[in-house]
């Protein structure tokens, strides 16, 4: 069910130079899906109906991946504030809360986004920022609270006093805003900084000076806020996503002998009492029945396996395998329409 109260803006216009890639950063994949698709999925599953993705670098390729999402172009990348500004016209008729998040933070869950919107509405805030408590806050903006717990300021690391640098609550950069207040404040921010860019966080002090409340929603799991800037962080996000996928499957009745050596893409279906042995890769579009033995050292892609199937040391691609079939080790099945015992 869509939450008519809320809209979402996903910022996905940047190139991501630290990825050292010809491909736009948000098109790099985690668990078989481009990271921007993970963000859209979580926003959608949070029940938010109006979703706008701000595109820029390789805009056509990003649009192709997001065929069913409204994309808004940022022709020149002039900062996060400028990126949100591109959505002024599409949100001009909207008066509810608007979630602003990023195409390169793919680990936020739908539960977090739903809880953020709920907290924002409950607190009657002009802005609610997602914060996290981290062991090493170096480099992040610190959350300064007043005696009642409301956010008094967000101080960037370089501007923080020694005592403020001891604060471990950081700004993740994802917010929920009162839509009207957001665009009023965007009119007032300037590009008076070293990069000559318009920064979204600059609306926060304007809201505070106007006497409006800025609230904070604290993540229970700080790893959700991981932003991906390079291939090292891409691998970290993959490991976290794989942990989630394997955990969900194990709780549904699948035995995964060693989740750390198993790779399963999002959307694969595996039946109860199936056992997955180490060094197995299960890719998008694969459906596996109950009581199967898969692995070790298998790759299954876009295939359907019945129940009681045994596959060891083999590759199965775009194939259909009937019940109780045993695939000989070191087989390579590609586009086999029906394999029966």
- Give span(s): CATH 3.90.550.10, the chain: 3-225
> Residue 162: helix, strand or coil by DSSP?
coil
| Percent of the chain topping pLDDT 70 | 99
For the beta sheet containing 287-288, the strands, ordered from the edge strand earlier in sequence to the opposite edge, are 269-270, 287-288, 304-305, 320-321
Q: What is the pLDDT of residue 255?
A: 98
Confidence class of residue 1 from pLDDT cuts 50, 70 and 90? very low
Domain 3-225: homologous superfamily in CATH: Spore Coat Polysaccharide Biosynthesis Protein SpsA; Chain A (3.90.550.10)
- Give span(s): CATH 2.160.10.10, the chain: 252-334
Place of tokens 């932003």: 227
pLDDT at 163 over 70: yes
pLDDT at 4 over 70: no
Confidence class of residue 185 from pLDDT cuts 50, 70 and 90? very high
Q: What is the mean pLDDT of residues 221-250?
A: 98
Q: Which pLDDT tens digit goes with each residue over 47-93?
A: 998 999 999 999 999 999 998 999 999 999 999 999 999 999 999 99
Confidence class of residue 194 from pLDDT cuts 50, 70 and 90? confident
pLDDT at 315 over 50: yes
Confidence class of residue 193 from pLDDT cuts 50, 70 and 90? confident
18 among known catalytic residues? yes
**3-state class percentages of the chain: helix first, strand second, coil last, to nearest 5:** 30, 30, 45
Q: Which of 5, 18, 37, 304 is catalytic?
A: 18
Domain 252-334, architecture per CATH:
3 Solenoid (2.160)
Q: Which pLDDT tens digit goes with each residue over 255-313?
A: 999 999 999 999 999 999 999 999 999 999 999 999 999 999 999 999 999 999 999 99
What's the CA gap between 51 and 36, in Å, rounded? Answer: 12
Run of H or E residues at 243: helix 231-251
Q: What is the pLDDT of residue 148?
A: 85
């Amino acid at each position: 069910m869509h939450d008519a109260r809320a809209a979402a803006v996903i910022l996905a216009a940047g190139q991501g130079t630290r990825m050292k890639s010809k491909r736009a950063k948000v098109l790099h994949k985690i668990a078989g899906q481009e990271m921007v698709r993970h963000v859209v999925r979580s926003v959608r599953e949070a029940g938010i109906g109006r979703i706008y993705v701000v595109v820029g670098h390789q805009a056509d390729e990003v649009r192709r991946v997001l065929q069913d999402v409204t994309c808004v172009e940022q022709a020149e990348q002039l900062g996060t504030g400028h990126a949100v500004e591109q959505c002024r016209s599409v949100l001009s008729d909207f008066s509810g809360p608007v979630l602003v998040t990023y195409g390169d933070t793919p680990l936020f869950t739908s539960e977090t986004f739903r809880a953020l919107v709920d907290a924002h509405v409950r607190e009657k805030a002009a802005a609610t920022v997602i914060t996290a408590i981290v062991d090493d806050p170096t480099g992040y903006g610190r959350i300064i609270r007043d005696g009642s717990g409301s956010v008094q300021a967000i101080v960037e690391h370089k501007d923080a006093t020694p005592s403020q640098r001891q604060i471990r609550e950081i700004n993740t950069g994802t917010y929920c805003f009162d839509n009207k207040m957001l665009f009023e404040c965007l009119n007032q921010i300037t590009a008076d900084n070293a990069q000559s860019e318009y920064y979204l966080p600059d609306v926060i002090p304007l809201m505070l000076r106007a006497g409006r409340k800025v609230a904070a929603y604290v993540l229970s799991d700080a790893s959700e806020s991981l932003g991906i800037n390079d291939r090292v962080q891409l691998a970290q996000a993959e490991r976290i996503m794989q942990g989630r996928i394997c955990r969900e499957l194990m709780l549904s009745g699948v035995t995964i002998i060693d989740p750390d050596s198993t790779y399963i893409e999002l959307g694969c279906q595996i039946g109860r009492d199936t056992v997955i042995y180490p060094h197995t890769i299960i890719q998008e579009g694969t459906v596996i029945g109950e009581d199967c033995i898969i692995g070790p050292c298998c790759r299954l892609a876009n295939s359907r396996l019945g129940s009681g199937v045994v596959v060891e040391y083999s590759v199965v691609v775009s194939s259909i395998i009937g019940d109780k079939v045993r695939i000989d080790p070191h087989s390579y099945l590609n586009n086999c329409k029906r394999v029966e015992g």
